[in-house]
Amino acid sequence: MKVFSLFNDKTKKGVEGRKQSLSIVKSAFASHDKVMWMHAASLGEYEQGLPVLEKLKNQFPHYKILITFFSPSGLENVIKKKNIADAICYLPFDTKKNVKEFLAQMNVELFFTVKYDYWYNLLQELKNRNIKTFVISALFYESQSFFTSYGKWFVKQLKKNVDWFFHQTKQSYLLAKSIGLQNASVTGDTRFDRVKHVRNRANDVDFIKEFIDDKKSVVFGSSWQAEDRLARMISEKNQNVKLIIAPHDLKRVEHLKEIFPNAILYSNLKNSSTLQPSGSQILIIDSIGLLSKLYSYADIAVVGGGFHNSGLHNILEAATFGVPVIFGNHYKKNPEADDLIKAEGGKSFEHENEAAEFVLYLLNNQEELKSISENAGKFVAEQPNSSELILKKILSL
């Protein structure tokens, strides 16, 4: 990482940010403070762990909260928002010296990591200090190193150092059990708890209703190049539909302006008293933190990342509003995508032109659109309260 940081700004942020981690926890926690610590690789894992952390905080209000990240994108997004943490920082590099020095600054009572971010010196030191350690929304799959000939050492460390695994799926549970990780239960995906909360909050966004102007709307969430091409195909074949494009990275806004020269920027709506929101077919979102609310205005959602190997973004934020979700077919680490397709609340495609044709079909077939919408909302609503199941088990241990 230190070498790569010479050529990559994102990696450089992570390397430089880790130099501050020790001082952050020193200033945030006194020796007598009891600390609950959640670690998340990035923003998606944070969203999965947060419902559990919030329930633990309600149960133990006098405890302080530490949240650590591996990725700059996770830390930068969360640190700008209101959250329940007393301290947020990067996880130090996983050497014995770093880990011991970091843990010596605070009195950690409970630790959990989310999904599959395992750091072995950290887990060993937590065990040495008799700190209860859990994995929330665990997800095992067959291509992981645990299921190779050289993976036995890694499994041995997990078996020794983790008190309990809370699995997203039965398949994950059975895979883990097959290699000896017996301390486990299937509790589902905590993100369903999160998006149910999102659905029930106030989701108004300024200017969006005026922009849509009583027409059908498609929201492109966390879009990449493939979703941009998809949006262009739709806009050319149906001039009456409104398109809202929220890129996965705001650096892509300039590129979007080139593709859609007649589009309106959301920031221009905020800063102009004369610009008419309904005056364009396409709205480009150049602000962060709005996407989950924007889905509440959608008739159809297209979620990015699935047409290449970058990884599918969060489809549940759209589905919770009873919106058909369209995405690419690269999502092997997203079991909820298969489940949504089986529930007939979403659909995946190999090529963006096929996805565009299906979106155009739905826009012209109200009964089909209504059916898939209802299926998407029902799929989310019927999921178990995962974080409540996890809390009960943690308290019992």
DSSP letter (8 states) at residue 320: T
| Per-residue pLDDT tens over the stretch 247-265 | 998 989 999 999 999 999 9
Claim to verify: residue 245 and residue 273 sit in the same structural domain: yes
What's 325's DSSP letter? E
pLDDT digits (tens, 9 = 90+) for 159-184: 999 999 999 999 999 999 999 999 99
Distance in angstroms (rounded) separating the CA atoms of residues 327 and 330: 9
Residues 50, 161, single domain; the answer is: yes
Mark whether 30 and 175 lie in a shared domain: yes
**What does pLDDT average to over the chain?**
93
pLDDT per residue over 291-325, tens digit each? 999 999 999 999 999 998 778 999 999 999 999 99
Based on the domain organization, do 53 and 194 belong to the same domain? yes
CATH number, domain at 224? Answer: 3.40.50.2000
Q: The domain spanning residue 92 has which CATH number?
A: 3.40.50.11720
Number of domains in the chain: 2
Question: Do residues 133 and 228 both lie within one domain?
Answer: no
Tell me: do 160 and 208 sit in the same domain: no
Same domain, 66 and 22: yes
> Tokens in use for 82?
């209101």
CB–CB of 284/253 below 8 Å?
Answer: yes
| Sign of the alpha-carbon dihedral angle for 234, 236, 242, 248 | positive
Whether residues 11 and 149 fall in one domain: yes
Same domain (yes/no): 129, 58: yes
**235 & 133 share domain:** no
DSSP track, 95-155: -HHHHHHHHTTSEEEEEEEETT---HHHHHHHHHTT-EEEEEEE---TTSGGGSTT-HHHH
Same domain, residue pair 215 and 356: yes
Interval 89-96 mean pLDDT: 94
pLDDT digits (tens, 9 = 90+) for 321-369: 999 999 999 987 788 999 999 999 999 999 999 999 999 999 999 999 9
State whether 223 and 346 are in the same domain.
yes
Domain that holds residue 274: 204-377
Q: Name the percent of the chain lying above pLDDT 90.
A: 79
